[in-house]
Structure formats: structure tokens, C-alpha cells
Amino acid sequence: LKDLLLFWSSKEGKNTTLTEYKERMSEEQVKGIHPKDIEDNHLLPADEQTIERYGHEAANGVVVITLRYDTPARFEIDGQTTNYSNYIADRVKRDDTDPVARIIISFKVKPDGTISDNDVLEATDKRLLRRIEKAMDEAPRWRPALKDGKGVETTHLLKVPLPKGRTMPRER
């Protein structure tokens, strides 16, 4: 993915033609898209037409991801889009004796920006899980995804390895 330009677009109503491409996406943003939020994706070849439209950055092709909403949900602090997993990890109190742990939670952002339907997919430390769930409850609301100007529900993943930057030891 790192050599491809990544864009998302939206579909207008039932029309299957893509509207103008909205923005370039980072690999991290693409990884954050839940599969249920993707209507379509396709690869534009690295040909003259693609390079003419997107510039020389498109020399390896362009991936177009069509989402089921016009504007994706985003978590903001003081008007700046912030990585939700990092925000939550920064609020969890730990001491140096706590083991390396990983929590993965699937959750929904409702049309009003609240989160719900937390589904714990992995929790290697139950005490840490309780702290993370508390931090999620206390976090500010999200800006929901929008379709035709109205909020729509989206599904997201929270992935928190703690302490930050450490990885889980391999299982033997």
C-alpha cells in the first residue's frame, strides 16, 4: 500500500458513478476503515490517464475506496482530528509493574457521535480493560460520519497495546 495513492470517494444516491475523489488517505487511515463501511474499492492502473489526473505520485497506481458515507467519522480534540486509540492509551494510568497488554474493542459511533455496542475482541489484562472502558466512557463525543448531511452509524476498532510502543511477547 505504501507506494499507492489512496483516495476515498462517495456515491451519490443510487448512482453508481464515482463523484470527484475527496482526499488522499494515509495507510493508517485505510487500516482504520471497518470493512462494513466500504461499498467498493478498485485499483486504477499506472497509465498515462491516471498519472495525468493524479500526478507523478500515481506512477504505481491509485486505490479508490468508495465508502458508504460522504464524510467519515472522526475523533477530534480542540478541533484537531486525533487518533482515538492513542487518546485512550494516554488516559490509562499504569505503573511500571503492569505487564505488557493488548486490548482490542469493536465499537459503533452513533449518528449523534456517542459510542455504543462495545464488543471486546481481545483483552490480555482484565484490569486494563476496565480502565480502557472507563476512558472510553469519559472521552468526548465523535463527529459522526455524514451521508447527505445526516449522521450515520459506523463501526470502528480500538487497538491499545500498553505500554505504548511495546509489543506483546510471542506465544510459545
Q: pLDDT averaged over consecutive 10-residue blocks of the chain (172 residues)?
A: 45 36 67 80 85 79 80 91 92 82 94 95 92 95 92 91 67 58
pTM over 0.75: no
- Cell numbers found for residue 8: 476515498
- Sorted by sequence, the CB contacts under 8 Å of residue 67 that are 6+ apart come out as 8, 9, 10, 33, 37, 38, 39, 145
CB 111 within 8 A of CB 150: yes
CA distance 123 to 102: 6
| Residue whose C-alpha is closest to residue 63's, from 36, 84, 45, 38 | 45
CA distance 6 to 90: 29
CA distance 140 to 30: 23
What are the tens digits of pLDDT across the range 38-56? Answer: 888 888 888 898 888 877 7
